[in-house]
Structure 1
Amino acid sequence: MIAVLLAIYGHGVPGEAQAAYRREAIGAFSPFARSGAWEISRWTGPQREIGFAADELVPSWTADTPEGSWLRVEVRVPGSGWYVMGRWAYGESGIRRTTVKGQADATGTVAADVLRLSGPVTSYQLRATLLRRPGSAVRPVLRSLGAVASARGVPAKGSAGAAWGRELGVPRKSQLAHADHGGRAWCSPTSTAMVVGYWGRGPRPAEIAWVRRSDPDPAVDHAARHTSDRAYGGSGNWAFNTAYAGAFGLEAFVTRFPSLAAAEPLIASGVPFVASLSFTAEELGRDSDGHLVVVTGFTAEGDVIANDPAARGVRVVLPRDAFERAWVRSSSGTAYVIHPQGRGLPAGVVTE
């Protein structure tokens, strides 16, 4: 089994760090249909000490990217160069929202949204570059940038009970309702759309006007389109999903939990979370090599109540031990945490 030691931080970028732009030719590295020169503003974070020897890093961010602007996020560890973890923008400005294939060396390998390290590291550094068309007056803003570091270890144990008997009223959305146009692979954006909707946010009518009138839930189609990763070939990129939630003024990040007990304070404080996991039929009644659900609460006995976008009726109750075992084993307890700005989170969920 896998347990997770984790450190995550999130912070804004000082305004002055985004005030000065210079022109830079990025050629073939442009995610737009046409390449060439772009005006850029770059912020490089400090070297961050993790506090233990980690073997994986998952960055995530939120940003405002007006039409004609975009964001590039990179990470490096001691002895490595900069790995590109995403080229991202919200909107329909022609951006080829994408991760970058083929990044592998003696230090690590980028597997879409995860940097897998060849050996343990104890620190890392993040860099963000904001880009806009030359001469443009638009001003993209990086609102938060962070990463979760994790390591395999002794399985975590715990049974907090703080949220047992509580269920949050997260709206239920089904990916199966969109099966005729790709929805069978939309568990991640459907889950993200549920949590965005829980906080009363989502696309405006003009932003979903392109969705056919017969569609049962245009917000799901919108989320799937705006989280699509060109290189990955789908909408399951973890950081792209939290960045999408951030486009609606929410705080959002990817983290990892060593156990359900560690995540229970979120539910107790009224914050649902999206869990990424794979599982077998023996564990949860069917097989999946990668799925996401919204954890909305716990029964009085501690079993997991979830909105499963691939389940008929959506709401399911899942056995606690089997869910926890599959979640921690398969994704090291990966979760999306999405909440309104200014709403505090329980102690231990984020460390600065």
Structure 2
Amino acid sequence: MTRPTSRRTLLTAALAAAAAGAAHPALATPTAPRGTATDTATDTAAATGAGSRPDAAGPATAAGKGVARVDYHGWTTYTDWRSGTAKGTRAVAGSRHGVVIGTPAGRTEYTDPHTGKKATWDYATWTGPARRLTTPASELVASWNAHTPAGTWILVELRGTYTDGKNTPWYVIGRWAAGDGDIRRTSVDDQTDGRSTVWTDTLSIDDTASSLRIASYRLRLTLYRKPGTGSTPKVWRLGAMASDIPDRFTVPASTPGQGAGKELRLPRYSQNIHVGQYPEYDNGGEAWCSPTSSQMVIEYWGRKPTKDDLAWVEPEYADPQVCHAARYAFDYQYAGCGNWPFNAAYAATYRDMQGVVTRLGSLGDVEKLIGAGIPVITSQSFLKEELDGAGYGTAGHLMCLAGFTAAGDVIAHDPAGSNNDDVRRVYKRREFENIWLRTKRYNANGQVRSGSGGVCYLYFPAKPAPAQQRVLAELGIR
């Protein structure tokens, strides 16, 4: 399979159409940087970070074979946090088990590449045990939930072991803080060893036509705080979704099931009423499908920013919480709001919330979640004629699934609506399922481009109801 020539999808253009190195090794720059080229096409193959990915894997099971193709595993319990290798961190129990800084392992300096600000930090690390995969993976996406008070931040890294026994480097998946006063949250470009590459937030095998895959992986956290303070980040969920599905332009159709006729009551927010607002965050609302979708689901669960949180937003702007979500999901390296784990981490900054990035196998899986009261945020790309009623085409777009009609068609809260009243849409089941789950598609010029392969965000309470817990466990999430 070929790799994209561009660093990132030009999501701004796609959704505009819809509207019309340091001392501590964890901070070191990776070796063997990869050069990138710029592709100015709207429907580019570089669908990375904002809706679709290069060579994305597909549904959770191979059709008719029952072979697990997606493995999500999360570390969340007190036992989990004690199972890793700690250097200066300690596991804590309580209402939410997690890992925090105990006695720092050392001190280091970090120069923020986006501000030029150099600062000294105490740090401590937690390295998780190896997660061996039943089906070796061509892609991995990590996600995390954490509290980072002022004066703290975290680094998330991933290291894979190939099927030939060799290791990848420790790849940086994200330098992250809930706020933007201490560091600018960021992914890291140009990370490759010539066999695998990090595309914004996704670790991918370079040549998926070969037999090379990732057989196991480890995750590493580095927690930072200002020297001489007692503050600490607390991470209460760290996990990764590993997947490997053969390429497909079409997927088997599912039949309506237990979710038919059920609709959840989500708020309706349009990204397009924010066009031109805060262009420093990915050119404004025209590219805010991901944080707009996130905000709809966060508020479905009864959480929202406080008045003080929103004090920075211009008072004449409607739905200021959407501006807030865009700012605090923004990835300063990717220069966009579509970093998948950054959106999940933003959702988890709200009281007693969790967020994960994973892949699902069919709309039947979505029906189970809807039936349990859990909305789903999906990522898809399509031509205008491939989704009746959308009125646009896109190289990468996020929307919320709120339910199903009695006939089993999809009820979506699509942030590409021209206004809030235009957000609720009904899309044909077969059309929607195919554009969401496929891994390959054709653009308007007949060129092969990638699809997201069933990527979704799932946001749910820290203590789900029993029925919700059962459904999540069935989908590999605990």
Q: Which amino acid aligns with 2:426?
A: V
User: 1:35: which partner in 2?
Assistant: 118
CA distance in 2, matches of 1:80, 1:156: 35
Is 1:134 the equivalent of 2:209?
A: no
Q: What letter is aligned with 2:142?
A: P
Cα contact 2:268–2:296 (8 A) shared by 1: yes
Instruction: Give the deviation of 1:152 after TM superposition.
Output: 1.7
Structure 1: which 5+ runs fail to align? none
* Alignment-derived partner of residue 157 in structure 2: 74
Amino acid at match of 1:274: I
Q: Is 2:169–2:193's contact at 8 Å kept on the other side of the alignment?
A: no
Separation in structure 2 between the aligned mates of residue 66 and residue 221 of structure 1, nearest angstrom: 21
CA contact (8 A) 1:170 1:198 kept: yes
Worse overlay, 208-217 or 255-264:
255-264
Please give the secondary structure, in 2, of the residue aligned with 1:208: coil
Corresponding residue for 2:264? 168
Decide which of 318, 325, 333 is 2:454's aligned counterpart.
333
Residue of structure 1 equivalent to 2:446: none
Match of 2:396 among 287, 290, 300: 290
The aligned residue for residue 321 of structure 1 is 430
Identify the residue that residue 448 of structure 2 maps to in structure 1: none
Q: Is the 8 A contact 2:375 2:400 kept in 1?
A: yes
- Are positions 1:309 and 2:438 aligned together? no
Output the CA distance in 2 between the equivalents of 1:133 and 1:31: 19
Greater Rg, structure 1 or structure 2?
A: 2
Greater shift in the superposed pair: 153-162 or 190-199: 153-162
| Distance apart, 1:157 and its partner CA | 5.3
How many equivalent residue pairs?
352
Equivalent position of 2:476 in the other structure: 350
Mind listing any 5+ residue stretches in structure 2 that lack a counterpart? 1-56, 61-68, 83-89, 92-98, 162-166, 207-211, 278-283, 439-450
| Secondary structure in 1 matching 2:192 | coil
Q: Which piece of structure 1 moves more, 17-26 or 198-207?
A: 17-26
Q: Residues 129 and 297 of structure 1: is their aligned pair in 2 closer, same or farther, counting only changes over 3 Å?
A: same
Query: SS in structure 2 opposite 1:191?
Result: helix
Given that 1:10 and 1:350 are in contact with CA atoms closer than 8 Å, whether structure 2 keeps it comes out as no
Specify the SS of the correspondent of 1:254.
strand
Higher share in strand: 1
Give per-residue Cα distances to partners, 1:63-110, cap 9 Å, x unaligned.
000001101101111111110000110124232110000101223111
Q: What is the aligned counterpart of 1:49 among 107, 111, 132? A: 132
Q: 1:91 to 1:28 in 2, by over 3 A?
A: closer
Query: Mapping of 1:126-205 within 5 angstroms?
Result: 126-153=219-246, 155=251, 158-159=254-255, 161-181=257-277, 182-205=284-307
Contact map agreement 1:228 1:236 (CA 8 A) in 2: yes
One-letter amino acid of the structure 2 residue matched with residue 146 of structure 1: G
1:143-163 deviations in whole A, cap 9, x for unaligned?
100011111237455435111
Check 1:348–1:30 CA distance in 2 against 1; reply closer, same or farther (3 A cut): farther
- Which residue pairs with 1:300 in the alignment? 406
Q: Is the 8 A contact 2:112 2:184 kept in 1?
A: no
Paired residues of 1:3 and 1:156 also in contact (CA < 8 A): no
Match of 1:88?
A: 176
Shift of 1:37: 3.0
CA distance in structure 1 between the aligned counterparts of 2:453 and 2:331, rounded to whole angstroms: 22
Matched residues in 2 for 1:211 and 1:27: separation? 30
CA distance in 2, matches of 1:207, 1:177: 21
Q: Which amino acid aligns with 1:165?
A: G
1:155-175 CA distances to partner (integer Å, 9 max, x unpaired)? 455435111100000100110
* Aligned partners of 2:380 and 2:436 also within 8 Å: yes
Q: How far apart, CA to CA, are the structure 1 residues paired with 2:333 and 2:179?
A: 18
Identical columns (%): 41
- Deviation of residue 32 (structure 1)? 6.5
Query: Which segment is superposed worse, 24-33 or 168-177?
Result: 24-33
Q: Secondary structure, in 3 states, of the residue corresponding to 1:100?
A: coil
Partner residue in 1 for 2:357: 254
SS in 2 for 1:197: helix
Corresponding position: 1:112 with 2:112: no
Q: Which amino acid aligns with 1:195?
A: V
Kindly state the Cα deviation for residue 28 of structure 1 after the two structures are TM-superposed: 4.1
- Separation (CA, whole Å) in 1 of partners of 2:319 and 2:106: 42
Aligned-pair CA distance for 1:23: 2.5
Q: CA deviation at 1:274?
A: 0.5
Report how far residue 122 of structure 1 moved. 2.1
Distance between the aligned counterparts of 2:397 and 2:387, measured in 1? 12
RMSD, matched Cα = 1.8
Distance, in Å, in 2 between the alignment partners of 1:32 and 1:178 is: 26
Q: TM-score, normalised by structure 1?
A: 0.95
Give the letter aligned to residue 6 of structure 1.
V
